[in-house]
Structure 1
Amino acid sequence: MPAAKAVPMFSPELRRGLGRLLALALLVTVGLVASPAQAAANLVQNPGLESLDANGFPVCWERSGQGDNTYTTGVTTDARTGKRAMRVNVTRLVSGDRKAMMLENAQCAPRVTDGHQYDLSVYYKSTTAANALTLFRRDTKLGWQYWMDPATLPATATWQRKVVRTPPVPPNTDRITWGVSIYGVGTLTTDDYSMVDASAPAPTPSGCTDAAGCTKGKWQVMPYESTVRGVHAVMLHNGKVLLVAGSGNDPNAFAAGTFKTAVYDPASGAFTNVPTPKDLFCAGHVQLKDGKVLVMGGTKDYAKADGTVGYKGLKNSYVFDPVTNTYTATNDMLAGHWYPSATILGNGDVLSLGGLGEDSTGTTTTDYYSAAQGKWLGDVQQTWSWWGLYPAMVLMQDGRLFYTGSHTFGSGLPGTGASIYNYGTKAITDVPGLQRKDERDQSMSVLLPPAQAQRVFTVGGGNGDEGKTANRLTDLIDLKAANPQYQPGPLLPQGTLTGGAAQTGEQGKMYVSLVLLPDGTVFETGGGLHNRADPVFEASIFDPQTNKFREGMATDPVPRTYHSSAFLLPDGRVMAVGDNPGNGSFDNRISIYSPPYMFKGARPAIQTVANTNWGYGTTQRITVNSAVTRASLIRPAAVTHSSDPNQRFVELPMTVNGNTIDLNVTSNPNLAPPGWYMLFVHNANGVPSTAKWVKLG
């Protein structure tokens, strides 16, 4: 659906009409466990819409929707079978949608089983392409919740059938309801609904190839070291990794004008050195929609030893081309930025905020990069607000930015420590609930899988300026809520310090890394107890479905504190680089982590991808070699200083026909900004394929 139709904030009433808002990608886990099981019992009550209530509307169905629009919803004799169908006619629409939905009661809402998948089928006709299948689920603890839009339905003058498979039903869900939304001017007619249990028994794992690996995963330290200090890491769509050091936090290298970049090939272990035009140490970076990397800011000058002058930021900017391994200068930004944010928007443009300026004071200038023009704009909306260093700015589904409270160095900003920023209106709204907002230095935040759920997870942190011990705090926020606010999450698992000494109490970690995995979980690794000191050896996997950590994962044998990063490789493994303790040394070893799913039997494979250039709201066909239950797009990393605000996992709804799968691509570019993505599928045992690269937008 068009991003412009997204509603900024959601009241409980609006969430019932959320159908088109979160755009359809969420149904990724729709599976290929079996072909549509139409011989099974239909769980929909009054599926042909023939029985009417006292008001003349189909029994077990209700008129629903929200927003500013003019519409009629009723019964028509233009039926596919029988005498009746439902018709929704929208003659004026400023915002919102309209739909006919199943009633949310015990008599009408189909009962479901945790972990099962269901094939949903509906016949429809529509004069507009602005239609979406919309699902709600009843959480036994929280009540009715919007679940997802699994697919959009194109316009058609004749009856067409849409079949889509749900993801495995989340825990604590006992019933679901669904219907078809119309979110544009036009007429939608539906008939002959069906919902059948499509689950097959989970396949027996083909065997654990390594008992410890199946439980904890395994690390491997490469027998070679990086040729540059890996302060910045970008996963390129050609399968290679851009490692940017600049001067690498080495004042002598800065004085000598020795600035370094290398391209690393994980497949061969080869490094290609790249001429580096300026000191891109502590720059910002983001992947553009064409696969090139925009690098902004960096180090104009180091701080003086006596503290009279601080670090100074560059206003230079470059585009790195992975085809030629070269940097090309853009025009300068409006201001210097050392430690700036970099967030790609739904239209492919980039916003950069924060950092230190050319005079070493905090930069309050907003810089805006136009992808179409290939340059930084001079006419930019300004709030003149100070956002700190590397402020984590996550793009929301409605186009606004969420400042998560994660940053680098010192205390947080005035107010609650987190906020929502609307670039178009310049409005900044405080978001409450972040625990110890002034002790979240070098924490990390991620948009949890799937992006359509709009939940952000913020982990750890400390206060380097005051030398405080890092904390174990985590915080969760639902950005779809009417008034979003953080809620406390589970404490980080306890780790051990150098030499195996156990931590006690609330001691946690700063410099933590969070990596979205293709099975929809989050790998947590690395970190230190104090500013540039005391590495913490602990790793865990966070499950967004249960909001719990799976503790005791294998730990990286290499310390990973300041200037370290971890990120996902296309083969499903995790790469970790960097460590820059207070003595000024730098660890150039490279570690590779194989998560437990790598040891749990044969991996499914994506055999063909019909088209690698994907448009929004389209259906894309792939074939696989075996049954799978999930498909997703994961945006490749561009990470530094525990900051990668563009990292996201986008669910892909699936329509299944044997080993042929049609993937329904979200129509909302704010959920999946344009660019290259890793396409994964995984099976019922959670074992993912190796990724195929596709370009979205």
Structure 2
Amino acid sequence: MNPRSLPILGRRDRIRTAQVVVLALLLVLGVPGRSFADANLLANPGFEVLGADGFPVCWERSGWGDSTHTFEVTHAAHGGVNAMKVTVAAISSGDRKALMLENPSCAPNVAPGHQYDVSAWYRTTTPNTVMTMFRHDVARGWVYWTDLATLATTADWTRQTVRTPPVPAGTDQIVWGVTIYGAGTLQTDDYAMADATHPAPGTSCSAGPACTAGAWQVMPFDSPVRGIHAVVLKNGDVLLVAGSGNDPAAFAAGSFTTAVYRPGTGTFVNVATPADLFCSGHVQLADGRVLIMGGNKDYPAADGSHGYKGLKNSYVFDPDTLAYTRVNDMSAGSWYPSATVLGNGDVVSLGGLGEDSAGTVATQYFDSSAQRWLPLGEANQTWSFWGLYPSMILMQDGRLFYSGSHVFGNGLPGPGASIYDYRANTITPVSGLRKKDERDQSMSVLLPPAQDQRVLTLGGGNIDGNPDANRLTDLIDLKQATPVYRPGPLLPTGTLTGGVPQTAAQGKMYVSAVLLPDGRVFETGGGLHNRADPVYEASMFDPATDTFTPGMATDPVPRTYHSSAFLLPDGRVMAVGDNPGDGSFEMRISVYSPPYLFHGGRPQILSVAGDQWAYGTSKQITVDGPILKASLIRPEAVTHSSDPNQRYVDLPMTVTGNTIGLNLTSNPDLAPPGWYMLYVVGTDGVPSVAQWVQVR
């Protein structure tokens, strides 16, 4: 907030209140148990890294009211080269301060209930100097929290150390700075912040179980729409599409809904929805717009004369205008269609139900350059039925791998998996997938990095026979001349409603698998049976060892049918939805902070050489410290445990100090054109907040 609004208390009252707090909490120099030997959670704490405008990265000129003042980066530093100097020549109201930026990349993450030791070196010519702190409330946004301590005048560099009160519930980040509210000169340098909560013996993390399991937070607000479809947009917002939301009454009333969720503010924007996009397909186009195909033309008839019917309608959603625009119709109706983007930016859609409730056998092809669906005669056809939401993953040679993950009942004839070559119009069976007719609402992911061409398929069930969902995982290396699935490790077991433990044979369907910036896969959610018996279990899969780490924190909200989980640009995972057999729908939103967010400050991407990245080029970035790896992650467009376009593309690095060249693949089939989240990961395993770049 720049300038800041006037806090609730008057300035003099705030100072007196802060002094009482300081005395009551013994917030003085030399607080026993201070933890400054721990990792400093602050970004650019000594002002050493300057932005293009000459001001320190992750800091802002802040304040409010009427004053004559200047901000200056001075070389009369306590440590290093730079320090911050704020001079107020005259003031009638308000204050001035250099404050940490209120954004996910710069503001330190905190845990509710924890206390933090904060310190700064300073010298000031006026007693009108105070340490001021703000907090990010997930329901209200950034709000004033407290003044921590009044600083005495001093001509020599002096360190002030303060321990905060316990962080209030619902707070995920804080920022603070040293404020001057009278005429004089203030200089500060070498800020620090560390978690004062004592870590477990033998660890360097003080967040308790979150150090190894991460932590979930249920948002203090509900979604205004049923989150059946979720798409992470090129600006970090989340498109939530319900259509009629599996509600025949809403369908009859023509009540179709969409909302855009803004994680940074916890707010929603309702969007006019042109048709019943319930159970449509969707994928990001190269320009960041979202192609949405098909949906629900009708619910099953009471007399059994027809089942669900697929729409032919197709739309493009624009994140810039928050509006749908209709494109030409598909060649066939599509309810539960797949959607896979190709290396040239075109889209192939397969499977689903048509306008007559029968399986759609047409291959439907969207020409991105012409922005239209091709007529049947212009697209290659095999006249094959691929089931509902068949998982069709683009391979590095342009072919599609049908992994065997699908929705509803038995799989297709044959071994359950295959490779489809659109250009040659051929289908090659792939063997080895176990229980191929019990992979209903399993999930398949192209494992990190995409260059390895390995796919993991997890869990699944069968709504026809409705046996217990299975624990099976299967792995395949698509680089082999004749790829064959091989058994992977079993999914870890969890608990059912009431804390009843699963048996050794019980797994889950409706599973979600999310690629993380550190190169692991977070597996969460699911149910034991068709629209029933939620499973509370979560784990981490490591592609380097092909092993699961069980015991991750579990979402307290059940997530079965019509649920999704997906990666946010800040490295957290968001989960929405649940539609059990009684017809109810879960409107609560959960957000998971993986363990890496509790192990120190984030690395900072200080600059990126443009957001337009051409294939086969090296793009330069600058960072604030040692980096372990860098990657591009395609934002998710997920529904029904299906997002075949999810992928993590490794960026080999050329390192020269804090300047890093990132080498992008020349193969668009490895990284189809579009907007990606660029992450770097520090040597402690903590990822940056993503920067958005467009691969083209």
Structure-1-length-normalised TM-score = 0.70
Do the aligned residues in 2 keep the contact of 1:207 with 1:601 (CA within 8 Å)? no
Deviations 1:61-81 (A, max 9, x none): xxxxxxxxxxxxxxxxxxxxx
Residue equivalent to 1:439:
438
Q: How does 1:100-111 map to 2 (within 5 A)?
A: none
Q: Give the 3-state SS of the residue equivalent to 2:365 in structure 1.
A: strand
Name the CA distance, whole Å, in 2 between partners of 1:238 and 1:479. 32
Deviations 1:56-113 (A, max 9, x none): xxxxxxxxxxxxxxxxxxxxxxxxxxxxxxxxxxxxxxxxxxxxxxxxxxxxxxxxxx
Q: How does 1:520-539 map to 2 (within 5 A)?
A: 520-539=519-538
Q: How does 1:25-174 map to 2 (within 5 A)?
A: none
Name the CA distance, whole Å, in 1 between partners of 2:604 and 2:445. 27
Q: Give the 3-state SS of the residue equivalent to 1:254 in structure 2.
A: helix
Give ranges in structure 2 of 5+ residues lacking alignment. 1-201
Deviations 1:517-552 (A, max 9, x none): 000000000000000000000000000000000000
Q: Give the 3-state SS of the residue equivalent to 2:627 in structure 1.
A: coil
Q: Which residue identity does 2:480 align to in structure 1?
A: A
Do the aligned residues in 2 keep the contact of 1:224 with 1:589 (CA within 8 Å)? yes
Residue equivalent to 2:660:
661
Name the CA distance, whole Å, in 2 between partners of 1:468 and 1:639. 25
Q: Give the 3-state SS of the residue equivalent to 1:394 in structure 2.
A: strand
1:337 equivalent among 309, 334, 337: 334
- Rg (Cα) greater in structure: 2
Residue equivalent to 2:487:
488
| Cα drift, residue 207 of structure 1 | 3.9
Do the aligned residues in 2 keep the contact of 1:206 with 1:601 (CA within 8 Å)? no
Name the CA distance, whole Å, in 1 between partners of 2:603 and 2:407. 40
Name the CA distance, whole Å, in 2 between partners of 1:270 and 1:527. 27
Residue equivalent to 2:283:
286
Residue equivalent to 1:551:
550
Name the CA distance, whole Å, in 2 between partners of 1:604 and 1:464. 46
Residue equivalent to 1:422:
421
Do the aligned residues in 2 keep the contact of 1:318 with 1:327 (CA within 8 Å)? yes
Q: How does 1:439-518 map to 2 (within 5 A)?
A: 439-518=438-517
Deviations 1:294-320 (A, max 9, x none): 000000000124543210000100000
Q: Give the 3-state SS of the residue equivalent to 1:598 in structure 2.
A: helix
Q: Give the 3-state SS of the residue equivalent to 2:287 in structure 1.
A: coil
1:255 equivalent among 246, 252, 257: 252
Name the CA distance, whole Å, in 2 between partners of 1:318 and 1:558. 32
Residue equivalent to 1:540:
539
Report how many aligned residue pairs link the two structures. 493
Do the aligned residues in 2 keep the contact of 1:624 with 1:659 (CA within 8 Å)? yes
Name the CA distance, whole Å, in 2 between partners of 1:326 and 1:262. 11
Residue equivalent to 2:130:
none
Do the aligned residues in 2 keep the contact of 1:243 with 1:261 (CA within 8 Å)? yes
Do the aligned residues in 2 keep the contact of 1:562 with 1:580 (CA within 8 Å)? yes
Name the CA distance, whole Å, in 2 between partners of 1:684 and 1:560. 34
1:236 equivalent among 233, 237, 262: 233
Q: Which residue identity does 1:603 align to in structure 2?
A: R
Residue equivalent to 1:321:
318
| Cα drift, residue 494 of structure 1 | 0.6
Q: Which residue identity does 1:351 align to in structure 2?
A: V
Q: Which residue identity does 2:287 align to in structure 1?
A: D
Name the CA distance, whole Å, in 2 between partners of 1:295 and 1:602. 38
Deviations 1:364-402 (A, max 9, x none): 011000110010011110000000000000000000000
Name the CA distance, whole Å, in 2 between partners of 1:290 and 1:654. 26
Name the CA distance, whole Å, in 1 between partners of 2:509 and 2:342. 28
Q: Which residue identity does 1:587 align to in structure 2?
A: E
Q: Which residue identity does 2:284 align to in structure 1?
A: Q
Q: How does 1:588-599 map to 2 (within 5 A)?
A: 588-599=587-598
Name the CA distance, whole Å, in 2 between partners of 1:495 and 1:222. 24
1:218 equivalent among 201, 215, 220: 215
Deviations 1:430-462 (A, max 9, x none): 000000000000000000000000000000000
Q: Give the 3-state SS of the residue equivalent to 1:629 in structure 2.
A: strand
Superposition CA RMSD, Å: 0.9
The answer to which structure, 1 or 2, has the higher relative contact order (CA under 8 A, 6+ apart) is 1
Q: Which residue identity does 2:449 align to in structure 1?
A: P
Give ranges in structure 1 of 5+ residues lacking alignment. 1-204
| Cα drift, residue 683 of structure 1 | 1.4
Over 6 Å off, 4+ runs: none
Name the CA distance, whole Å, in 2 between partners of 1:323 and 1:258. 24
Residue equivalent to 1:113:
none
Q: Give the 3-state SS of the residue equivalent to 2:320 in structure 1.
A: coil
Deviations 1:476-516 (A, max 9, x none): 00000111000000000011000100010311000000000
Q: How does 1:279-428 map to 2 (within 5 A)?
A: 279-378=276-375, 379-428=378-427
Q: Which residue identity does 1:432 align to in structure 2?
A: S
Q: Which residue identity does 1:244 align to in structure 2?
A: V
| Cα drift, residue 206 of structure 1 | 10
Residue equivalent to 1:43:
none
Deviations 1:325-377 (A, max 9, x none): 00000000100000000000000000000000000000001100011001001
Name the CA distance, whole Å, in 2 between partners of 1:340 and 1:563. 15
1:227 equivalent to 2:224? Answer: yes
1:570 equivalent to 2:597? Answer: no
